[in-house]
Structure 1
Amino acid sequence: MTEQKAYQDEQVFSLTLMANFVHQVVNPLNAVCGTLDNIVQGDVPVGTVKQRINASRSQIEYCVELIRNLAFLAEYTRDPVIYRQRHAGKVTVIPQVLIQAALFFQETGRKKQMKIHMVDRETQYKVNADPDLLRQVFINLFDNGVKYAHRATDIIVRTHIQKRTNDLLIEVINQSDPIPRELWEKIFEVGFRGENAQRLIASGTGLGLYICRLILSVYNGSITYSGARSSESIFTIRLPGAWA
């Protein structure tokens, strides 16, 4: 491949990614505008106004998180070394950030009869990481689960410290169509969307899982995918140097 061809391909990819990103942000905001118009015009039953406002708030929060994804990507790729230095020295408490991330999806989950269930909500695990960045990881994972997991199933979260390594292991498990083994690594590539994702939701940024891996790499962590059963998807996060 010539240098010119590689540059053209990169430009096409960037424009496609941006177009998908804008689409993902504009659609929920249009829905919020429609809801507010209906409330102002008195077209929404009084008993459902609060519910509609809460739903609109969730959509706005989702848009904010999409924008944060793009902002993180732009800042990190500009100078990874400076970015790592700027976000060093902070401590994250688990499950605090897990609970915060899960709150974003209460309304969406309710519509699909889904909930995010943490097996252990009491044990306070700590890791050297920026809580805002780790929260973004879990928001991306829960967003992925709520979008693609089977209706009326739970997203299960398990946490524990591995004694041999002192690594904190966090498993996010959902019931969804299996991903072929040859794609287990590919799903973390920027812009990649599998056939199942495209079938269920026509457009998407293809940034979520890529950014999960990128953020975790800032703290020498990792994320992997496996399909233990035909309908079970497991994302395993590993963060070093944890304590309780």
Structure 2
Amino acid sequence: MNNPKKQPIFTLPPPKKPSTGTIKLQKAEKITPENPPIPHFPPVTTPLPSAEGIPISPPPPSLPEIPSDIDDEDSQESQTEIDNPLILNFTHQIIAPLNAVIGTIDNVIDGTIKEEKRQQKLKTVRAQLAMTIELVRNLAYLSQLTTQSGRESLRARLGIATIPLVAMHAVQFFQEPAEKRGVRISITDSTTQYKVRGHKDLLQQVFMNLLENALKYCDPDTEITIEIKPQKTTGNLIIDVINTGIGFNKEEISNIFKRGTRGKEAVKIKSSGSGIGLYICKNILKVAFNAKIEAIYATKLRQVTFRIRFPEYTIDKESTEKWRYEKDTR
């Protein structure tokens, strides 16, 4: 006779209707055994074998200065205050996968999950933990982007990011869930080594947020495309993240990058969501890359495009030739 499944340890009542009040971020308290520090989660990436030994070029000499602040239209959002609903939303989204992980582990221990199904369950647990880490990481980025000192800290770590590599590392996180939905993720140009001034880990977070959105709301058995192309007329480097599925109307486009905003159709399909993924993308690109992002929806084709526009870039010709040679000789 099978043992009944154990109930999750953590429970949280449904969020009450938010008040107009806000929660002010306080300075961290002194670290004690009762008040341990919040751990830092470094990016979990698996370097591609062919990426080894690729030289990094020095920053382009004529890049424009990084702006000193985020957009004026976001000035009210860039305060050191975070709304109550946002905190409650994050709390629910973090606790839910952790509860599922605890329940799975308990069922493995008590024998409810048989040995032949354990490998599959462990993969599910890993995916749930990875999702939780991404939520915590996004919350950390949010805290940095909403304070002047946080933005200055981000700018202090600027270097060089190589576009195809950063995109390929981000894609690796979504290969398994994409396969389950019959979705293929492709990059149109994975050999030309475009380099931009900025922070590669922050750029990877941008790609991960966009890919997570695309996979969450795209139609099954379709394709997500990362299209990389220079634009001769403007001298910009354009990156499009394209998928087929539900989109947004004209009224929503103007607000879609604001904090806590989600499209009506998106809410219908996925009731949970923090509404800060695109906000973080926009402000990381603005603060760390002097770049812009826009949303486009072709209603008849049901095609969603998030377009990133980098004003300056260089091409590492030596590394590009190396990648092309490796690709041709595989």
Q: Is TM more than 0.5 here?
A: yes
Query: How many Å apart are 1:49 and its aligned residue?
Result: 2.6
Q: How does 1:1-244 map to 2 (within 5 A)?
A: 9=20, 11=22, 14-79=83-148, 82-88=152-158, 90-218=159-287, 219-230=289-300, 231-244=302-315
Name the aligned partner's letter for residue 152 of structure 2.
I
Name the aligned partner's letter for residue 175 of structure 2.
Q
Q: Percent identity?
A: 37
Q: Which runs of 5+ in 1 are unaligned?
A: 1-7
SS of 1:172's equivalent in the other structure is strand
Task: Give the Cα separation in 2 of the matches to 1:228 and 1:148.
Answer: 15
Name the aligned partner's letter for residue 19 of structure 1.
L
Task: Give the Cα separation in 1 of the matches to 2:104 and 2:223.
Answer: 28
Query: How many Å apart are 1:81 and its aligned residue?
Result: 5.1
> Under a length normalisation based on structure 1, what TM-score does the superposition of the two structures give?
0.89
Query: How many Å apart are 1:35 and its aligned residue?
Result: 2.1
Could you say which structure has the larger radius of gyration?
2
The question of whether the paired residues in 1 share the 8 Å contact of 2:167 and 2:204 is answered with yes
Query: How many Å apart are 1:32 and its aligned residue?
Result: 1.8
SS of 2:20's equivalent in the other structure is helix
> Under a length normalisation based on structure 2, what TM-score does the superposition of the two structures give?
0.67
Once the two structures are superposed, residues 120-174 of structure 1 have per-residue CA deviations (whole angstroms, 9 ceiling, x without a partner) of 2222211111011001101111111111111221111100122343322110001
Task: Give the Cα separation in 2 of the matches to 1:110 and 1:43.
Answer: 27
Name the aligned partner's letter for residue 236 of structure 1.
R
Query: How many Å apart are 1:228 and its aligned residue?
Result: 2.6
SS of 2:314's equivalent in the other structure is coil
Seen in structure 2, the aligned counterparts of structure 1 residues 165 and 104 have a Cα distance that, compared at 3 Å, is same
Seen in structure 2, the aligned counterparts of structure 1 residues 78 and 104 have a Cα distance that, compared at 3 Å, is same
Once the two structures are superposed, residues 89-113 of structure 1 have per-residue CA deviations (whole angstroms, 9 ceiling, x without a partner) of x111121111111122223222222
Task: Give the Cα separation in 1 of the matches to 2:175 and 2:100.
Answer: 18
Please state which structure has a larger fraction of its residues in helix: 1
**2:39 is matched with which residue?**
none
Task: Report the more deviating stretch, 202-211 or 75-84.
Answer: 75-84
Across the aligned residues of Structure 1 and Structure 2, the Cα RMSD in angstroms comes to: 1.9
